[in-house]
Amino acid sequence: MIVVFSGPPGSGKGTQAQRVSKVFDLEYISTGNILRSEIALGSPLGRSVKDVIGSGAFISDKMVLEVLEAELRRKPSKALLLDGVPRTLAQAYMLDDLLAELGLPPVSIVIQFDIDDDVLVERIRGRFSCASCGASYHKKNNAPKIEGVCDYCGSKDFIIRQDDREEVLKKRLEVYYLETLPILGYYKSVGALRRVDASLTPDKVSEEVISIIKKKSEKGE
Ligand code: AP5
Ligand code: MG
């Protein structure tokens, strides 16, 4: 089963992916997390994308697909949770080809995280992330269970993302509406699109997402 999480910046894709991938034993792949790790390592890829990500723009479709392909070859699995990819129509078509080439099933569900822009600003303002595994937290709504310790990997290092400034968020939202929203029409046309109300509490959103994936997996798709 190949599941895609799609939605604007700050809608909770990463938060839900950390939770839900464990429930269904899905291999969790976030292109944003991979790119941020490359930036932290100072690799040639990281150096080439650092300024683009910091500005709130997208990196090229070709580069994203190369990153994704390398990750899929490194961690072969037929059960994937893709967070933040595809996010252009071209990436959606390229992903179809890549999955077929690797002998993987097509995308079965695309879960759209529906939320108003004004909620996103507050979420991004309060966000901090684990420096080691990328897990997202929020000062008020979603703090780690033990203060100062990541729930998922135990790291004690946290960072504030370079693209979490308000003016960059504005740009990220513009790009999202222009480039990413059109993929929803495509996934609707192939019967894969589902929607969740991403403004609910993290636990409520998890319930909705889990129920959608459960229904699909019970049908054996
Ligand atoms: P990426 O890392 O994918 O960022 P994004 O899509 O902008 O989304 P975010 O990670 O900011 O938000 P999220 O939805 O994961 O929310 P989160 O769970 O953290 O991409 C970053 C950049 O990399 C892109 O801008 C681009 O440059 C590049 N890139 C990556 N993939 C690419 C691609 N395919 N093509 C081209 N370029 C690409 O939650 C946000 C906050 O809210 C947190 O503080 C969290 O604790 C809190 N929160 C979460 N859920 C709730 C809730 N239900 N209630 C209250 N608070 C909540
Ligand atoms: Mg994220």
What is the pLDDT at residue 165? 87
d(CA 31, CA 95): 13
Question: Given a cut of 70, is residue 28 above it in pLDDT?
Answer: yes
The residues that bridge with 60 in the sheet, in sequence order, are: none
Q: What is the pLDDT of residue 220?
A: 66
The response to whether residue 134 sits with its C-beta less than 6 Å from ligand 1 reads no
Check if 99 has its Cβ closer than 6 Å to any atom of ligand 1: no
pLDDT one-digit tens code per residue, 71-89: 999 988 889 999 999 999 9
Residue 140 backbone phi and psi in degrees, to 5 = -105, -45
The pLDDT value recorded for residue 91 is: 98
Q: Which atom of ligand 1 is nearest to the CA of 53?
A: 27
State pLDDT tens for residues 148-207: 999 999 999 999 988 888 889 999 999 999 999 999 999 999 999 999 999 999 999 999
Ligand 1 atom at minimum distance from 198 CA: 53
Residue positions annotated with a catalytic role: 13, 87, 127, 161, 172
Over the chain, what is the mean pLDDT?
Answer: 94
**What local confidence, expressed as pLDDT, does residue 134 receive?**
86
Predicted local confidence at residue 183, as pLDDT? 97
